[in-house]
Amino acid sequence: MAPNLPSNPKGLSSTTPDGLVAPPAAKVQKTEGFSVMAEAKPEHYHAGNKLTILVDMDNTLCDWEGAFEACMKAKFPEVALVPAEGRLNWDISKDYPAAAADKVKAVSGTPGFFSEMKAVEGGVEAVKAMAAAGHNVLLVTAPDPNFYTQCSQEKYEWVEKNLGAEWKAKVVLTRDKTTVRGDFLIDDKPHCDVGALEPEWAHVVFDQTYNRQKGGKRLSSWAAWKDVLGVKAELDCAVSRNPRASQENLYPNGINFSCVFPSFNQESIVRKTLAGLVKQKIKSNFKFEVVIVDNNSTDDIDAIYKKYRTKLDLTLVQRRKLANTFSVPSARNMGIQQAKYDYIIGMDSDVILNENFLENMYQFLSSKPNNVPYMVTAERIFVCTEGCSDDKLLEDYTETERYPRILSKANYFKPRDNRFSHGNILENVEKGWQPWAYFYGMHTAFPKKIWEKIGGYNEVYDGWWGYDDIHFAWEMTVKGGCLPTILGGTEVFHQEPYGSQWVPLGGVVDKLGTSNPRLNKKDNPNWQRICDTIEGYADWKTDYYQKLAGDIVTL
């Protein structure tokens, strides 16, 4: 995992929940340069004449029909079977009497229903031949909404048993296949091109009786895949394109940064955030500015501006009076609208950037094509800066090494950023399993042109508990084509708000008193919005919370 871990204030080693040993505090800031901890594979960034071929599973690669007939006979012998050749509807329940609808739906809930399906003749051999020829093959399948957990797990089991464990990384679970980029989608569903986006792929209909009215390319036998797709096994492709290469130059004026954050009170914390920007170690030829959006602060934001306007290229945007001073998404959009540079460093007002943060970001982006959008984040180190001044930080950045490392309620009292101390964040990002869930607005960097393309942050969110960040990262990835990336050696210090009864690293947490309102999902409208938006997010995050916190209130 990460080469740089949070450490305790005395410089003593400690053990994280992962069983990893955290290094002394002084070592955190000694790292020069960055490392790419995780970068989503550009599965659709074609090279040469390589194609991305999306393949459905049920009734395309797997014999769903045969499994249904066998289970129906065993469980409900009183219901007369509709033979496969008599099927008229993709939704099989429409082919049966209304009185049998519940039984028809219940069949796929039979344990082993999905994992024990037979493979459609020639299908396994065909997709392996596609991959062997150099094409990028993804298995794009929709989980059964009535048995989501069982279906998802068993589909992975089927893939491992029939194709091999390495193919599990090629599975994409979604009920909206328009959000997946590719050249072709081979699918039996006649209307799979209806969804949130205009599909980039061409639909190749896998022949079934209920899709005979669908026009376009049709695959009646897996043996004919090369002819139907118009390709040859040796990659002599008639169709080749690169969706991401259609992007224009994302940095027409060079790679320069606009650091943008909203602010509401917490004057002392904001001062140290700005001091950390003053102390950035810049070795390369780039510029950066800072844009603060004041969300109706009642403290002396003007004094902060006057102190730092001579030390930074600083803009202060003061908003009209708001009914909700925590309107974070709209504040972020307002600040980015004022930004003059092409790459945005999205921040919060309580984050102190690693002194190498901007330099590392520049070096990373400089090593990449200027038409490929990257969305970048890093790990957080939780600290308490109460009683520490921004003047000390301005004198010496190593002051950050003396900030007490803490167990923060915002971090579920984990000694390490919870995204890293639970689950397989790096593997999840690389394989594309809910990668946007790891990108928080407190330090997420992205091209301004892609922010413009998706229409900015969704302002329906009120900002509480970060779901606006996740929605934004999802749209940047799905609609904007960004490659989610996590950098090492580029950590940030997250200052604990004053008066929060912070617990020093190694301290004792009163578990009976740690019920966290952010775990109460039932009363959080933002939770419902994000779950309605992102397919599979609710189940994934439920598992995450339960393993992470243990004292979850309700979902």
Query: What is the set of active-site residues?
Result: 56, 58
β-pair type (202-206, 184-187): parallel
**In sequence order, what are the residues at sequence separation of 6 or more whose Cβ sits closer than 8 angstroms to the Cβ of residue 83?**
none
Partner residues linked to 485 by β-bridges: 39, 376
> What are the φ and ψ backbone dihedral angles of 62, each rounded to 5 degrees?
-115, 145
Rounded distance, CA 522 to CA 527, Å? 8
Give the span between the Cα atoms of 351 and 473, in whole angstroms: 19
Residue 63: CB atoms within 10 A of its CB come to 19
Which two tokens mark 273?
């955030």
Dump the DSSP string for 277-323: HHT----SS--EEEEEEE-S-SS-HHHHHHHHTTTS-EEEEEPPP-S
Using DSSP's 3-state secondary structure scheme, residue 485 falls into: strand
Q: Which two tokens stand for residue 399?
A: 């002051």
Q: CB neighbours (10 Å) of residue 72?
A: 22
CA distance 103 to 201: 35
Asked if 132 and 165 count as a contact pair (C-beta separation under 8 A), the reply is no
Amino acid in position 476:
M
Q: What token pair was written down for 145? A: 């909404």
Round to the nearest angstrom and report the end-to-end CA distance of the chain.
30
Q: Please check whether residue 104 is in contact with residue 96, taking contact to mean a CB–CB distance below 8 angstroms.
A: yes
SS3 255: coil
CB 486 within 8 A of CB 425: yes
**CA dist., res. 175 & res. 189, Å (int):** 12
What letter does residue 383 receive in the DSSP assignment? E
The span from the CA of 240 to the CA of 80, in Å, is 48
Q: Give the Cα separation of 531 and 538 in Å (integer).
A: 5
Q: What is the spatial distance between Cα 259 and Cα 289, in angstroms, rounded to a whole number?
A: 6
Q: Which residues pair with 36 in a beta bridge?
A: 487
Backbone φ and ψ for 82, nearest 5 degrees, come out as -95, 115
Task: Compute how many other C-beta atoms are within 10 angstroms of the C-beta atom of residue 339.
Answer: 21
